[in-house]
């Protein structure tokens, strides 16, 4: 009986742990390379080969520049997914803070530059 309760309790903790904000570069070191990190911004390049599935991670407000486009599906912590989205080379997007993981469902390697905005000392994002 105790063993069953321990297993059930452990399973109940799994969703809570998956909601914990994770650093994109730390949990996806094969696909994300940080090029600048200072008190104002963090900039990184991401390369997602066809079929690649990222690990769950979080971003603050950010700007995404698409170097090489492709098709992605976005997955949220609650299990919902988006319809596949086509990213086009040269496209620039603004994103509000998000916790998610992406899946490259296309046939090309997607390359992005992501600029994460850090809060100013006053606590506001620039």
Q: How far is it, in rounded angstroms, from Cα 24 to Cα 64?
A: 14
Q: Is residue 124 included in any domain, yes or no?
A: no
Residue 20 has pLDDT above 70, yes or no: no
Is 10 contained in some domain? no
pLDDT band at 126 (very low <50, low <70, confident <90, very high): low
**CATH for 102:** 2.60.120.10
Residue 62 inside a domain? The answer is yes
Residue numbers of the domain that contains 95: 21-117
* pLDDT over 50 (residue 2): no
Helix, strand, or coil (residue 44): strand
Q: What is the pLDDT of residue 122?
A: 72
Residue 23 backbone zone (phi > 0: left; psi -120 to 50: alpha; other: beta): beta
Residue 53 predicted with pLDDT over 80: yes
pLDDT at residue 11, as a whole number: 37
Q: Which long-range contacts (CB under 8 A, 24 or more apart) does 37-40 make?
A: 39/118, 40/117, 40/118, 40/120, 40/126
Is 14 a residue whose pLDDT tops 50?
no
Is 64 a member of any domain?
yes
């Amino acid at each position: 009986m105790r063993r069953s309760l321990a297993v059930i309790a452990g399973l109940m903790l799994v969703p809570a742990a998956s909601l914990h904000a994770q650093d994109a570069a730390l949990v996806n070191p094969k696909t994300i390379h940080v090029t600048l990190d200072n008190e104002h911004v963090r900039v990184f390049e991401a390369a997602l080969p066809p079929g690649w599935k990222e690990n769950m991670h979080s971003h603050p407000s950010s700007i995404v520049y698409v170097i090489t486009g492709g098709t992605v599906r976005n997955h949220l912590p609650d299990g919902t997914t988006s319809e596949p989205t086509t990213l086009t080379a040269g496209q620039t997007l603004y994103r509000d803070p998000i916790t998610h993981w992406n899946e490259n469902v296309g046939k090309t390697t997607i390359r992005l530059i992501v600029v994460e905005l850090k809060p100013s000392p006053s606590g506001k994002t620039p």
